[in-house]
């Protein structure tokens, strides 16, 4: 009898964690990531042509963990830990941070929305959804990414994103200004807000992001000076304020889709102000389920400088997770002292620049 009782107690002890997990709901942790790599040709890379391996262009490389726990009653707890890396060297991205892309924890309610805290993308990243030829990669964004459309993170943030009501959803984010000396894009306080609407094949959205003490890659713009300061290709300025307003829309019909995106970025530094305005127009054509052709034109105006860029892409899906692609980009600049400077490349020594790329991307 005593032996039987002991066995029952042991069995109950072993089953307790399982019973507790069942009572409190289901939980899961998912490993996810992406690897993009390829060969890029630049006809004028600071005065000479260049062929190079370059990764994370059509989609930034990442490896992360996504967790969720059902708390019952339509509520859940969740977290995301995501790091960036180089597929060519194995080095950590985002300045060598372990989870430099995102690191946050939060609570969600299906009927209300979600609140999360940590290092997160500001809402400007949502404008990617309205960027024509999105699969063409980061060569198609603004030269120095003044408008942050490529996706930038804010440290020490609290974010609320609403559930969807009659096609509308929105959100608000606040970043605390406590980042001096860290790898951050908001040394000062930051706010970001968005609203989106979807109906059938139509989608539109607007984003406002405002950051104090924002580092900007001024030397990559191709302009001879930024905010009253002469720049070289390696010049980084910390703007007193960076305010971005972006609006975009997409419409899909059958095998065709069209998109338009406009951004207005206002910069302040030591009494100087400047505004960068960018317009993207283009679309995609799904020739076959596995073959997509895409193209767009972009117009960029910053102070007395202008850039006109044409982008085209061919994307072939080998599976749902793996594709191969070809990208073509050509840019012409105008304005005294202004040179071409396609994003992720060094400024050209002239007012023209051409970039071509062949690559492969895998999602997991």
CA–CA gap between residue 242 and residue 58 (Å, rounded)? 26
Residues with Cβ < 8 Å from 39, sequence gap 6 or more? 51, 52, 53, 54, 357, 358, 359
* Phi/psi-derived region of residue 47, left when phi > 0, alpha when psi is between -120 and 50, beta in every other case: left
pLDDT on residue 163 = 98
CA–CA gap between residue 265 and residue 244 (Å, rounded)? 4
pLDDT on residue 183 = 66
* Whether the predicted pLDDT of 13 surpasses 80: no
> Is residue 270 in a domain?
yes
> Is residue 15 in a domain?
no
Residues with Cβ < 8 Å from 303, sequence gap 6 or more? 223, 225, 274, 335
* Whether the predicted pLDDT of 5 surpasses 60: no
pLDDT on residue 178 = 82
pLDDT on residue 180 = 62
CATH number at residue 236: 2.40.160.10
What average pLDDT score do residues 78-100 get?
94
What DSSP line would sit under 132-145, residue for residue? TTGGG-GGGS-TT-
Q: How many domains does the chain have?
A: 1
What average pLDDT score do residues 278-290 get?
97
> Is residue 9 in a domain?
no
What average pLDDT score do residues 191-215 get?
97
* Whether the predicted pLDDT of 19 surpasses 80: no
> Is residue 12 in a domain?
no
* Whether the predicted pLDDT of 17 surpasses 50: no
What average pLDDT score do residues 106-111 get?
98
pLDDT on residue 336 = 97
Residue 228 vs residue 177, higher pLDDT:
228
Tell me how many degrees the CA angle 115-66-203 measures, rounded to the nearest 5: 60
Nearest to 87 by CA among 58, 66, 121, 60: 60
pLDDT on residue 182 = 58
* Whether the predicted pLDDT of 95 surpasses 90: no
Could you tell me the two tokens for 144?
């120095």
3-class DSSP string for 302-356: ECCEEEEEEEEEEEEECCCCEEEEEEEEEEEEECCCCCCCCCCCCCCCCCEEEEE
Model pTM score: 0.91
Whether residue 175 contacts residue 190, with contact meaning beta carbons closer than 8 Å, is answered with: yes
CA–CA gap between residue 77 and residue 108 (Å, rounded)? 6
Whether residue 243 contacts residue 113, with contact meaning beta carbons closer than 8 Å, is answered with: no
> Is residue 318 in a domain?
yes
Please tell me the least confidently modeled range out of 25-29, 31-35, 81-85, 329-333: 25-29
Nearest to 190 by CA among 122, 126, 237, 264: 122
> Is residue 273 in a domain?
yes
> Is residue 78 in a domain?
yes
Whether residue 196 contacts residue 225, with contact meaning beta carbons closer than 8 Å, is answered with: no
Could you tell me the two tokens for 341?
């400077």
192 beta partners? 173, 209
> Is residue 53 in a domain?
yes
Model pLDDT for residues 225-246, shown as the tens digit of each residue: 999 999 999 999 999 999 999 9
Q: Which domain holds residue 316?
A: 30-363
What average pLDDT score do residues 11-20 get?
41
CA–CA gap between residue 24 and residue 77 (Å, rounded)? 12
pLDDT on residue 25 = 61
Whether residue 215 contacts residue 188, with contact meaning beta carbons closer than 8 Å, is answered with: no
Nearest to 363 by CA among 102, 60, 57, 149: 60
Nearest to 341 by CA among 39, 44, 57: 44
What are the φ and ψ backbone dihedral angles of 44, each rounded to 5 degrees? -145, 100
Whether residue 186 contacts residue 155, with contact meaning beta carbons closer than 8 Å, is answered with: yes
Residue 28's CB: how many other CB atoms inside 10 A? 10
Structure confidence at residue 310 as a pLDDT band (50, 70, 90): very high
């Amino acid at each position: 009898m005593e032996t039987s009782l002991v066995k029952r107690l042991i069995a109950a002890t072993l089953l307790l964690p399982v019973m507790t997990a069942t009572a409190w709901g289901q939980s899961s942790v998912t490993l996810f990531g992406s690897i993009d790599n390829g060969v890029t040709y630049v006809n004028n890379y600071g005065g000479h042509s260049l062929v190079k391996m370059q990764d994370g262009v059509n989609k930034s490389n990442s490896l992360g963990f996504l967790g969720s726990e059902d708390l019952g009653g339509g509520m859940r707890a969740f977290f995301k830990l995501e790091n960036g890396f180089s597929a060519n060297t194995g080095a950590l991205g985002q300045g060598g941070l372990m989870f430099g892309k995102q690191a946050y924890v939060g609570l969600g309610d299906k009927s209300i929305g979600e609140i999360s805290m940590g290092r997160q993308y500001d809402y400007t990243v949502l404008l990617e959804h309205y960027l024509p030829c999105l699969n063409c990669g980061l060569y198609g964004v603004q030269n120095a990414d003044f408008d942050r459309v490529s996706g930038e993170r804010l440290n020490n943030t609290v974010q609320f994103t609403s559930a969807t009501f009659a096609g509308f959803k929105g959100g608000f984010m606040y970043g605390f200004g406590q980042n001096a000396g860290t790898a951050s894009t908001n040394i000062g306080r930051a706010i970001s807000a968005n609203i989106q609407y979807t109906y059938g094949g139509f989608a539109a959205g607007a984003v406002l992001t405002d950051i104090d003490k924002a580092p900007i890659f001024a030397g990559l713009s191709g302009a001879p000076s930024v905010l009253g300061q002469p720049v070289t290709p390696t010049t980084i300025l910390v703007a007193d304020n960076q305010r971005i307003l972006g609006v975009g829309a997409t419409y899909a019909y059958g095998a065709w889709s069209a998109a338009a995106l406009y951004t207005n970025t206002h910069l302040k530094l030591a009494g100087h102000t400047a505004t960068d305005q960018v317009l993207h127009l283009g679309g995609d054509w799904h020739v076959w389920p596995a073959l997509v052709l895409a193209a767009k034109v972009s117009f960029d105006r910053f102070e007395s400088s202008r850039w006109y860029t044409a982008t085209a892409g061919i994307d072939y899906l080998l599976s749902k997770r793996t594709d191969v692609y070809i990208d073509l980009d050509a840019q012409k600049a105008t304005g005294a002292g202004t040179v071409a400077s396609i994003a992720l490349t060094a400024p050209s020594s002239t007012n023209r620049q051409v970039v071509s790329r062949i690559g492969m991307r895998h999602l997991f």
